[in-house]
Copies of this chain bind each other. A is one copy, B any other.
Amino acid sequence: MPRCSACTFASFCLPGGLNRRDIDRLDSVVHGRISLHKGESLYRLGDPVTSIYAIRVGTLKSQVSTQDGRVQIVGFHLPGELVGLDSLVSPQYMSHAVALEDARLCRINLTALRDLAVALPGLYNNILRLMANEVRHDHAMLRTLGVLNAEERLIAFLLSLSARLSARGFAASEFQLRMTREEIGSYLGLKLETISRLFSRLSETGLITVRHRSVKLNDLNGLRLIYEGSSGALASFQNHCLAN
């Protein structure tokens, strides 16, 4: 039986405000583990919602697709993050979640979670906080898609990935991409060829080193200059808020 109290990522799944005793009680809402192979779906648009999921290992994407085949990826989910939050109060899933690589997850039973939350107001606050983070992320993405050009978008993506990875103890400036150029493009509202060209161009300037899926950010400050020159104090302000 998996136990939240022993989970490395517990503090990320359900940050702050809960004491050890409360976290122990959380174990009761985790109903089993799930393994997914690369490419498998965790859930599809319209499936009945009974659970959300915490990622132990692996990376997933959430996407919505259109009749004529255009796909918009609305989020990537890293180890330690939750999947399915966007459908928390919906009877059916609002998106399609797919594993980008082999993954293992904890299934969190929503009925049990709701019952427990009535007893633990601190848990409600945590859930609200997670939803608010989702909104914050989405607003940042709206800004990215709305006002940034292609190069700024890719840099925003790389910096955001770097921040999320380092917040979970991974290296901040050197990592493996788990997604294809096409998926990055879909996330950023660009085409895969454009992503490829941008990687080449950023490589030539020395700001980053890219070989296939492995990325190294050689000049974090230089990248931030391009990004923050466009996003202004806003990005750092939001990161500041995000921190507490």
Q: Which residues of A come within 8 Å of B, CB atoms? A: 45-46, 64-68, 70-72, 74, 85-92, 94-95, 114, 117-118, 121, 124-125, 127-129, 131-132, 134-136, 138-139, 141-143, 145-147, 186-189, 228-234, 237-238, 241, 244
Q: Given known contacts A114-B125, A117-B124, what 8 new A-B pairs fall within 8 Å (CB)?
A: A66-B231, A66-B232, A67-B234, A71-B147, A72-B146, A85-B135, A118-B121, A135-B138
The A interface is mostly helix, strand or loop, or mixed, namely: helix
A-B contacts, 26 of them at CB < 8 A, read A64-B143, A66-B143, A66-B147, A66-B231, A66-B232, A67-B228, A67-B232, A67-B234, A70-B147, A72-B142, A72-B143, A72-B146, A74-B139, A74-B142, A74-B143, A86-B136, A88-B132, A89-B125, A91-B244, A94-B238, A117-B121, A128-B131, A138-B138, A138-B139, A138-B141, A138-B142
- Decide: B72 and A237 in contact? CB cutoff 8 A: no
Complex-state Cα separation, A147 to B70, whole angstroms: 7
User: Given A88-B132, A92-B241, A134-B135, is A145 in contact with B66 using a C-beta cutoff of 8 Å?
Assistant: no
Q: Which residue of B lies closest to A233 (CB)?
A: B67
Most chain B CB inside 10 Å of its own CB: which residue of A71, A92, A125, A139: A139
Q: Assess whether B91 is in contact with A45, with CB atoms less than 8 Å apart.
A: no
Q: Within 8 Å CB of A85, what residues of B?
A: 135
Nearest CB to that of A137 among chain B residues? B138
Task: Looking at the assembled complex, report how far the CB atom of A15 sits from the nearest CB atom of chain B, in whole angstroms.
Answer: 11
Taking the closest CB of chain B, its distance from the CB of A136, in whole angstroms, is: 6
Interface pairs A-B: 8 shortest CB-CB:
A67-B232, A138-B138, A145-B145, A146-B189, A131-B131, A72-B146, A66-B232, A89-B132
Q: Which residues of B contact A231 (CB under 8 A)?
A: 66-67
With CB as the reference atom, state the residue of chain B lying closest to A115. B121
* Contact partners of A147 in chain B: CB under 8 A: 66, 70-72, 189
The reply to whether B139 and A64 form a contact with Cβ atoms under 8 Å apart is: yes
CB contacts (< 8 Å) of A88 on chain B: these are 128, 132
- Do A45 and B128 have beta carbons less than 8 Å apart? no
